[in-house]
Structure 1
Amino acid sequence: MARAYQDRPEDRSDSHLSERRQRSLARVRRLARWLDSSVYVPFLRTRVGLDAAIGLLPVVGDFAGVVLSALSVGEAVRLRAPRPVVGRMLRNLGIDFVIGLVPVVGDLADIYWKATTRNLRELENWLDQPPERPRARWPQAVMLGGGVLLAAGLSWWLVDATL
Structure 2
Amino acid sequence: MTDTAQHFDRDLIVIERELDHLNRLAKTLDSRFRLPGTSIRFGLDTVVGLIPGIGDTLVAAPSAWIIWRGHKMGIGRRHIARMVANSAADYVIGLVPVIGDLFDVGFKANLRNVAILREQLGARHQAHSAAQTETRAAA
Give the TM-score normalised by the residue count of structure 2. Answer: 0.78
Residue type at the aligned position of 2:90? D
Q: What are the within-5 Å matches in structure 2 for residues 23-102 of structure 1?
A: 23-42=17-36, 45-102=39-96
> 1:129, 1:49 → 2: CA distance?
29
The structure with the greater share of residues assigned to helix is 2
Query: Sequence identity, in percent?
Result: 35
For structure 1, the 5+ residue unaligned runs are 1-14, 134-163
Residue type at the aligned position of 1:114? K
Give the TM-score normalised by the residue count of structure 1. Answer: 0.67
**Deviating 4+ runs (over 4 angstroms):** none
Quote the residue 1:117 is aligned against. 111
For structure 2, the 5+ residue unaligned runs are 1-8, 129-139
> 2:37, 2:11 → 1: CA distance?
39
Query: Pick from 104, 107, 124: which aligns with 2:98?
Result: 104
Q: What are the within-5 Å matches in structure 2 for residues 137-156 of structure 1?
A: none
Q: Which of structures 1 and 2 has the bigger CA Rg?
A: 2
> 1:113, 1:42 → 2: CA distance?
20
Residue type at the aligned position of 1:45? S
Q: How many residues align?
A: 119
RMSD: 2.0
